[in-house]
Amino acid sequence: MTPARIVLVTGAASGIGAAVCRALAAPGVALLVHTRRNSDGAERVAAEARAAGAEAELALGDLADPAVAEMLVACAVARFGGLDVLVSNAGFADRTAFGELTDGAMTASVEAIQGAFFRLARAAVPHLKAGRNARVIAVSSFVAHAFRTNTPVFVASAAAKAGLEALVRALAIELAPSGVTVNAVVPGFIRNGCAASSRACRSGGWVCRTKWRRRSRSWRRRRRATSPARRCTSMAGWSFDQPRTERLQHPDARRAGEQAGRFGRHHREAAAAHALVQSGRIEPA
């Protein structure tokens, strides 16, 4: 019997990928838990998923190898009978300074992040189009957006994640007519013992997540660390529910702007405009 929801999660032995598997695990769900080499961690995640009633299988492979992406998709289809959700999470953080980056290091980041997503999505698209309420979710990073003197800079990772987000936007447009939604999640630093970003967070003292609170008429930023479980919430919702653009429905622009305020001024303005379009007060450009 084919499961009701078939999900492939890459980089799922720890951190965000593991938290996504735990959040999605339920009766009727089949998970292909991928890791590059941490088979013990992936097995623990798979065991937790099975305990929650889901089917779970392991798959190992380095996504920097062009053949691995197609192999993972083929494995999910062969084992479970199809593919409904692709969560492209695998990657690593490289904080090497620009002047010290080698061609090999730069290529490694691009291949493991941007190239891996491209090949995964390319292999998965035919199956997603035949799937049920299919979803593609890519995990990007704040490093592609935060360039300040008081913030750690991950040159190679930032370039790879920026390219990833461009692919997400292009694929979202291309797959929209088929009903397959494509989204990217952009988390800050995540508490994850083996992650370079976690080490940078502890050593540099830079706080992991920006949170906004309203005080009088100004917005105050409060920074604190966040956990993988917190970051997987939106991905779990997108994996089973409606696309993100339908989630910004508010009765008026003020409430939309306030709720989106934690993401910054431009996002507040975008959310406010979206609310006005949804209410019928203005027409989209």
Q: What is the mean pLDDT of each run of 10 residues along the chain (285 residues)?
A: 90 93 95 96 96 96 95 96 95 91 95 96 96 93 87 90 96 94 88 47 35 35 47 53 38 39 44 50 47
Report how far residue 171's alpha carbon sits from residue 119's, in angstroms, rounded to the nearest whole number: 12
Domain boundaries, the chain: 5-192+226-244
Q: What is the largest CA-CA distance in the chain?
A: 57
Angstrom distances, CA of residue 80 to CA of 141, 232, 274: 30, 23, 39
pLDDT computed for residue 243 by the predictor? 41
pLDDT computed for residue 84 by the predictor? 96
Element of type H or E holding 181? strand 181-185
Question: pTM (2 decimals)?
Answer: 0.71
pLDDT computed for residue 22 by the predictor? 95
Q: What angle do CA 21, 231, 108 make, to 5 degrees?
A: 80
The structure tokens listed for 216 are: 């009088």
Element of type H or E holding 58? strand 55-60
pLDDT computed for residue 11 by the predictor? 94
pLDDT computed for residue 53 by the predictor? 95
5-192+226-244 — its CATH code? 3.40.50.720
- φ, ψ dihedrals at 244, nearest 5°: -60, -40
The structure tokens listed for 241 are: 């529910």
Torsion region of 82: left, alpha or beta (phi above 0 gives left; psi -120 to 50 gives alpha) = left
